[in-house]
Structure 1
Amino acid sequence: MGSSATIAWSPFCLTSSFNRRFAIILLCCMLFPSALSGPVYSSISPNFTASYYHYIDTSGAFLASRNGSFQAQIINLKPENRSFYLVVVHVSSRAIIWSANRNTPISESSEFRFSRDGMTLFNDQKQPIWSTPHNLAPVTSLQLLESGNLVMLDGANNTLWESFDLPTDVIVAGQRLNVGKSLVASNSDGDLADGICSLVVGNNDAMIRWNGMNYWELSMAPNAVRNAWAVEYMVMNYTGVYLMGKNGAQVVIRIPLHSSDDVVDDPSAFRIMKLESSGVVSVLKLSSGGSSKQEFKTPDDSCRIPSTCWKLGYCTNGGTCQCAPGFHSASSSSEPICVPTDGSLALPGPCNGSQPNITNIKYSALGRDVDYFSNDFSNPMLQNVNLTACKNLCSGNCSCLGFFYSQGSGSCYVIENQIGSMATKMSWSTDKDRLGYIKTIVVGTQIGVKGSKKSDFPVLVAILLPSGVMVIAMVAFLIWLRRRRIKRRWSRSMNSKLGRGSSMSAEEEMDFVSIPGLPVRFVYEELVIATESFKTQIGSGGFGTVYKGTLEDGEDVAVKKITCLGAQGRREFLTEIAVIGKIHHVNLVRLKGFCAHGGQKFLVYEFMDRGSLDATLFRADPVMEWKERYNIALGTARGLAYLHTGCEHKIIHCDVKPENILLHDKSQVKISDFGLSKLLSPEESNLFTTLRGTRGYLAPEWLTSSAISDKTDVYSYGMVLLEIIRGKKNSSPQMRSANSRTDSNRGNSRSSPSSVESGQRPIYFPLFVLDMHEEGRYMGLADPRLMGRVASEEVEKLVRIALCCVQEEPNLRPSMANVVGMLEGVMPLGEPQLESLNFLRFYGRRFTEESRLGGDDEQNELRLYRQPTGTNTSSSYNSLSYMSSQEVSGPR
């Protein structure tokens, strides 16, 4: 009996054709090692053939880039499987950046052929399973560039084909992903086949999709900045991810990879942007040996990804999974099967297109805290309908697996074909009023299997409906009828107590029904109960008074009672609310809903528990630290940049001031009252310029006939930034030593004798900042309460940005997107033009004069902007301009 070694190496003793071929190859390698191991080329000419067997000694590599950074290989990711792929690999990190045949793997003996017609992969039966286009000009060479791009060239070295045009799940630095192109995630690290997640570049954004349904957009990243241009392609480098437009001359969306505090350690390091099999988009810094560092990922909340949990899994706390409410696990595996808790119900089987029997369908409610990822990215199937209509829609559709219904707006969102995991509504939903329902069927019946010989559920013997069931149904109907009458009686009682008139007219109801996109509509009585009859006032401003409230589910809200709308119509109000309600950004206060009750109008916002910036910044104790001030400045800039360039309809805030910058206990910064200028009538637009608490932040163009633009908000932001630096209002007196540099030679009024004698005199802080900037002295501008806890260069950075923002000429002011770039350190600091800041000297003179007259800060602030008769300045500040609400709000 032969030894095992003899049996193992004898091809005549092997029954498997694969084993026989493998043994022959190994014998040839032992006897003639050079015969089957070809060299790794830097350029390949036509009539070239390769297989894994041919290049087994080089791990399947047959082509390398000039410096050896990349190789083209035929590799096997799983040794236990005969699944080989033609790939481009980054050598030092072993990262695969491109694959030709990800969905059709070949064997170790399958051939790769390169001819004058291009590249082709053949399977074991010599059939082509992948190739480049055959209509190309004659090809003369195949090369792998140092960028990782595999290219075919003609005789004049013109590129005929390149792998960068056919990305898989990765792009490298400098590689463009054009509009319409996409990255498709792999099934897993060991299976390169197309997965269910994709990243698609569109005309306005880059969308991440699961089974063709959007669940995230690249611009939703917290540090993303957007400009108003159409997207042409996406590209990534070591500084950030960019969506470019205008022939590559304009950054449409920018996501910086490094904050202003980070140091770019190695710009030459190899980085890739990859759509992971999990559905996360990552930017990875790769190093030798296969290790990597994640520099960016989105979404950062795992519960936003529909594949985080299994079908009907419920994701909480960033990735904890369990079955959704009303369901339980029927399996002990890592991905359990969630089935209805009610044993008499089951999930429907496959749909074959036949009409379901709707009498056998029941719906399992998911609870108030559960929402679904696609609801915020798709339009409702129906609008302004009741719950019954939504149920009937799903019941009549075999492919419908469930739906979400919004009680406030009457919107019906349908789940079809596939169900992913659910998530907690509080973490990401824009509509807290949606309730979910999953379709189930009574056990023993099946929908969509008419004529089927095999059922997925046991068939119960049909029995007559017992008379007792009819009695129970009748009792249930009487209980429902009684509750309905009680509810109506309570409503009439509340209307009487609250002075409410008759019910809503048909015309009013039609307005609510016919305007799409409205947020949740609250009933007036709900707001009365939530606010305890408007008991706790937490703020007031030009648009109205704000009250704290608590909804029925325990969520705190801020209820703003609008008081400045005058005779504006109800429909106009609702139309603008629909626009405002669609605006969502991490640095903008979210509008939760509204109420139109007779002539009264209310807006319901999320509650920010730390109140407004002025309440925290200007108080004596505790002192706001510099890092928090910087983050507030950055968050405010991001919010304004989104309003100016990231919204579907450009919005100019028109009232940027500390009172409209709100803070939350988790260091969140959000802008409030954005878009409310859109609610003004033309007559009220003029009044808006005189609202209390606004004048200190008005750009010069408000007081002239100049047009109002987004640069008006930039000016106001600059004034707020100066107050963040100083910790006091710009209009409150700032005492300056008379021994410091004399200002009279530079246009300032001379000090009064009394102030000179005392050695100090009041000055206008923005002018003081300008003077100190010219002298290069910045530490004297920071809030003295910080007691040296801030460096001079940090103060200088904010001072220079602020002065750029408050320049008199709007065209010289940076855009808010550029302000964000300067704050983040990805753009160089601007240099303020001193001649465009001379108007501050006029303001400074007026301030000094009014300060000597006495009076409180507000009176001085109002007098500051009144030009005396006969004063000649570079601009005409003696008249208020007339502006329509169109000019105030921007284009719609």
Structure 2
Amino acid sequence: MQADGNLVSYPVKTSVTSNDACWASGNSGAGDNVTLNFDDDGRLYLLNSSSTLNNLTSGENFQGRTIYLAKLDVDSFFRLYSHNLDEKRSWSILWSTPTGRCDPKGVCGVNTYSILRGLEVKCECFPGFNHVDPNDLSSGCQKNYTAGGCKNEDGRLNYTMKPLNDTQWFNDSYYLLTNSTKEDCAAACQGDCNCDAVIFEDRLCKLQRLPLHDKRSSPGSLSFVFFKVGVPEYITNGVPPADRPSKKKLTVEILIIGVSLVAFAFLVLAISRALIYRSNAWTHKRASDRGNIELSEDLAPRAFTYRELEEVTNSFTEEIGRGSFGAVYKGTILNNQKVVAVKRLEKVLAEGEREFQSEMKVIGRTHHRNLVRLYGYCLEGTKRLLVYEYMSNGSLANILFTSQNQPSWDERVGISLDIARGILYLHEECETRIVHCDIKPQNILMDNCRCAKISDFGLAKLLKPDQTRTFTGIRGTRGYVAPEWHRNLPVTVKADIYSFGIVLLEIICRRRTVDSSLPEDEAILEEWVYQCYENRQLSKLVGDEQVNERKLDRMVRLALWCIQDEPSLRPSIKKVLLMLEGTVDIPKPPSPTSSLSTI
């Protein structure tokens, strides 16, 4: 019931406008006291404070053994049912809204089309797509082939076009071709790297980009739709199926090779473990024979005593930083004069010694050029300290948000790649998958060559929820926290993708995500960036700095995809890295908050 007295039904996740309405009572302007009423004789009517405005149904001669049901069905019809308790029959329909069927918008996710079969909605994927989550059809669909360039090395196209008939579309196209034929329309998309699908209708060819929305099954539709999908491998490599080895022969060969490789791998593994054991035993013996503090980078993180770390840091006199996990002090390992950073954790969860040591071993087994190395730890009562490699150039925030010695555009692109590679290792390549939960410039440290390294990974689970004022019962720092934290939804690796997107915007623009000293329309970075992107004014983001405009456009697009409110729309970190490297195309992103505009 709208404020103007008009009773209207809308599909979920659509705009509340007449264009999206399924049915309306037609009482617009009747006032704000209108109510829908339902009498026990089956009469449905609209009533204001003084009189009846609209009889939706006339009602029947009341019979005590008849009951009525008014129901808004899933197929969008508002219906009145009746049932006589003396007769063994099912419910019968007395009245229904007279308009045509309204499609189930909002039920299916992106890159799908909906089919209504009876009262059940089916979400089908486009050709060349599979469901992101088969158990949750509203999650949408994604490509089931690896994206690549438009052409291979010998100039042949890497894509073919597949039709999808009997569908109706409402998407805006990014390019129109007039006076076209169906064949020319499909060929135009096949040769355009930015095109993912085309809609051909009445000699008009509409080129589309992913993701696609607002489509439905429409038997007898006069429009033709073609989707770009990956060409089968034998077409691109020139070897037809008839010239390939038979499947049975190929399976036997693969089995023989596989068994041989497994046997060889076991042999190499056994020899390697024996050699490593002997080497570690000798190293441990040599280290234990020396009385002074020393550090061996060949070993797993070693356990320090609190007294040893007092000696290393000269009684914790030189504080070099303070973050969300605690204070950091500069120290020197005496024997090899190696400079280290000693972090004293504050308000750590009251875990047992064994659990804390297990966590340290997980972190200690991470070895990557874009992760800060953990050398050791201290566990004495409530004292928990970590010993890291020392990063001479401080944090990314130190060099990004100060006017002196800011990194150039090419350096910032390299820093973005470093961070993405570090996150890729945490998410997909290390032995135990790690969700960082607090990606921000203060946790990105710079070595003497200005190579970016991620710190504080794996520590979020050791902290209490109220650890500092930057935490609000959730893990992460305001401004970088993914929206799902606030909506009590399951948090996955996509939370780190959101934080990386915010950091990427800060790297591009060399400013903080929120700056109250700027004009109101520029204060919130993500909103300002999307406004500049929509208005084709990306040069505002970098000021007078000379940058590669094509690379700037790609990085802005990628950042906007990473900060989408809907986690399933954010790319994986592997795809983020491919986009940063320029390996795959980046489609035009929607507004970051568009997926929540109707909630």
TM-score normalised per structure 1: 0.36
Q: Which residue of 2 aligns with 1:794?
A: 551
Query: Does the CA-based 8 Å contact 1:661-1:672 persist in structure 2?
Result: yes
Matched, 1:809 2:562: no
- Give the Cα–Cα distance (whole angstroms) in 2 for the partners of residues 404 and 520 of structure 1: 12
Cα distance in 1 between the residues matched to 2:560 and 2:279: 51
1:815 maps to a residue whose letter is: S
CA distance in 2, matches of 1:622, 1:572: 43
Aligned positions of 1:672-687 closer than 5 A: 672-681=455-464
Pairing of 1:499-518 with structure 2 (within 5 A):
none
Of residues 766, 775, 793 in structure 1, which corresponds to 2:535? 775
Give the superposition deviation at 1:801: 0.6
Contact 1:576 1:678 in 2 (8 A): no
- The 5-angstrom pairing of residues 452-491 of structure 1 reads none
Give the C-alpha shift of residue 715 in structure 1. 0.6
Shift of 1:835: 6.6
| Matching residue of 2:332 | 550
The question of 1:533 aligning with 2:533 is answered no
RMSD of aligned residue pairs (Cα, Å): 4.1
Q: Which amino acid aligns with 1:617?
A: L
**Counterpart in the other structure of 2:268:** 212
Aligned to 2:222: none
1:405 correspondence with 2:284: yes
Larger Rg: 1
Residue 835 and residue 588 in structure 1: after superposition, are their counterparts in 2 closer, same or farther (change >3 A)? closer
2:377: which partner in 1?
Answer: 594
Q: 1:764 — aligned with what?
A: 524
Deviations 1:445-484 (A, max 9, x none): xxxxxxxxxxxxxxxxxxxxxxxxxxxxxxxxxxxxxxxx
Instruction: Tell me if 1:722 matches 2:587.
Output: no
- Alpha-carbon distance in 1 for matches of 2:415, 2:263: 31
Q: Please state whether the residue corresponding to 2:283 is helix, strand or coil.
A: strand
2:590 paired with 1:833: yes
For the structure 1 residues 835 and 567, does the alpha-carbon distance in structure 2 shift closer, same or farther, using more than 3 Å as the test? closer
1:596 maps to a residue whose letter is: L
- For 2:573 and 2:522, the matched residues in 1 are separated by 32
Q: State which of 412, 432, 445 in structure 2 corresponds to 1:662.
A: 445
> CA offset at residue 572 of structure 1?
2.1
Look up the SS of the partner of 2:315 in the other structure: coil
**Distance of aligned partners of 1:180 and 1:659 in 2 relative to their CA distance in 1, 3 Å threshold:** farther
3-state secondary structure, aligned to 1:695: coil
Q: 1:817 to 1:407 in 2, by over 3 A?
A: farther
Report what 1:712 is aligned to: 495
The aligned runs of 1:418-497 (5 Å cut-off) are: 431-432=296-297
Query: Unmatched 5+ residue regions in structure 2?
Result: 1-235
Partner Cα distance (1:686, 1:727) in 2: 25
Q: 2:391: which partner in 1? A: 608
**Which deviations, in whole Å up to 9, do the C-alpha atoms of 1:564-597 show, x marking residues without a partner?**
2043332321121121111111111111111112
Match of 1:623 in 2: 406
Q: CA deviation at 1:542?
A: 1.5
**1:389-448: CA deviations, max 9, x gaps?**
x5xxxxxxxxxxxx43267799xxxxxxxxxxxxxxx9xxx95265xxxxxxxxxxxxxx
Do the aligned partners of 1:609 and 1:665 also contact (CA within 8 Å) in 2? yes
| 3-state SS of paired residue (1:212) | helix
Could you tell me which of 301, 304, 318 is aligned with 1:522? 304
Q: Secondary structure at the match of 1:800?
A: helix
Any stretches of 5+ residues in structure 1 without a counterpart? 1-145, 167-175, 183-199, 216-373, 384-389, 391-402, 411-425, 435-517, 737-750, 752-760, 840-872, 876-892
Q: Judge conservation of contact 2:417–2:580 (CA < 8 Å) in 1.
A: yes
Residue 140 (structure 2) aligns with:
none
Cα gap change, 1:677 to 1:874, in 2 (>3 Å): farther
Alignment: residue pair count: 358
Contact kept? 2:427, 2:434, Cα under 8 Å: yes
CA 1:836–1:157: 2 relative to 1, 3 Å: same
Change (3 A) 1:836 1:158: same
Give, in angstroms, the shift of residue 546 of structure 1: 0.6
Change over 3 Å in CA distance of 1:835–1:634 after alignment to 2: closer
2:456 partner SS: coil
2:482 aligned partner: 699
Once the two structures are TM-superposed, the CA of residue 733 in structure 1 deviates from its matched residue by 3.7
Kept in 2, the 8 Å contact 1:568–1:680? The answer is no
State the 1:690 CA deviation: 6.1
* Residue-by-residue CA offset, 1:688-714 (whole Å, 9 max, x unaligned): 446999101111112221111111111
Query: Does the residue aligned with 1:432 lie in a helix, a strand or coil?
Result: coil
Question: Identical aligned pairs, as a percentage?
Answer: 37
2: CA distance, partners of 1:824 / 1:214: 39
1:512-536 superposed Cα distances (whole Å, 9 cap, x missing partner): xxxxxx6211122221121111111
Amino acid at match of 2:446: L
Alignment match, 2:186: none
Distance 1:585 1:661 in 2: 14
Contact 2:561-2:592 at 8 Å conserved across structures: no
Partner SS, residue 615 of structure 1: helix
Cα distance 1:793–1:593, how it changes in 2: closer, same or farther (>3 A)?
A: same
Offset, 1:678: 2.4
